[in-house]
């Protein structure tokens, strides 16, 4: 998994709302990259709604919030419309970015092993360097914690 102090791997991925998003093009803004397992599942929906609820405060702190999963762009668009999400989602359908950031790997649920995204958040400074990483995120209160870290950066 990527660690604080490392350069954030650059990427260009399809984004909700049309077009593509390139991480380095967002500089000098700070960027929250929240990696999540799957659109429209309970924990992922709660996390997206929490970041949406705080979107204006993130913007006021000079921070962009980007959600990343392996879901298709069409599924992301549907998820955004259904829940009126106010954050940008990007589709890493091939999983390249998830692998570069170290969030793709074996998981276990009810004794069954499978490959998937470990819910992780990465805060990237305006200089493109990883400022903080939250591995194996617990959703409750997480968006607020990330906002506090972004505002202090």
The helix (run of H) or strand (run of E) holding residue 114 is: strand 112-117
- Say whether 80 is catalytic: no
pTM of this prediction?
0.94
pLDDT tops 90 at residue 20: yes
Instruction: State both tokens at 67.
Output: 């959600």
Confidence at residue 114, expressed as pLDDT on a 0 to 100 scale? 87
Q: How does the average pLDDT of the chain come out, rounded? A: 96
Query: Which position among 8, 21, 33, 44 bears the catalytic label?
Result: 44
- For 53-80, the pLDDT digits (tens) are 999 999 999 999 999 999 999 999 999 9
CA distance 140 to 1: 22
Percent of the chain with pLDDT over 70: 100
Q: For 12-152, CATH number?
A: 3.40.30.10
């Amino acid at each position: 998994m990527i660690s604080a102090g490392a350069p954030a791997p650059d990427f260009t991925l399809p984004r909700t709302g049309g077009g593509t998003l390139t991480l380095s093009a967002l500089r000098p803004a700070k960027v929250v990259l929240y990696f999540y397992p799957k659109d429209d599942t309970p924990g992922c929906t709660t996390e997206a709604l929490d970041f949406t609820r705080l979107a204006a405060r993130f913007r006021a702190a000079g921070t962009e919030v980007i959600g990343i999963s392996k879901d298709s762009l069409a599924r992301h668009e549907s998820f955004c419309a259904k829940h009126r999400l106010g954050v940008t989602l990007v589709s890493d359908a091939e999983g390249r970015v998830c692998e570069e950031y170290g969030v793709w790997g074996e998981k276990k649920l009810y004794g069954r092993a499978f490959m998937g995204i470990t819910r992780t958040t990465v805060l990237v400074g305006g200089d493109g360097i990883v400022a903080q990483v939250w591995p194996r995120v617990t959703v409750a209160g997480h968006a607020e914690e990330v906002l506090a870290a972004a505002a202090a950066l």
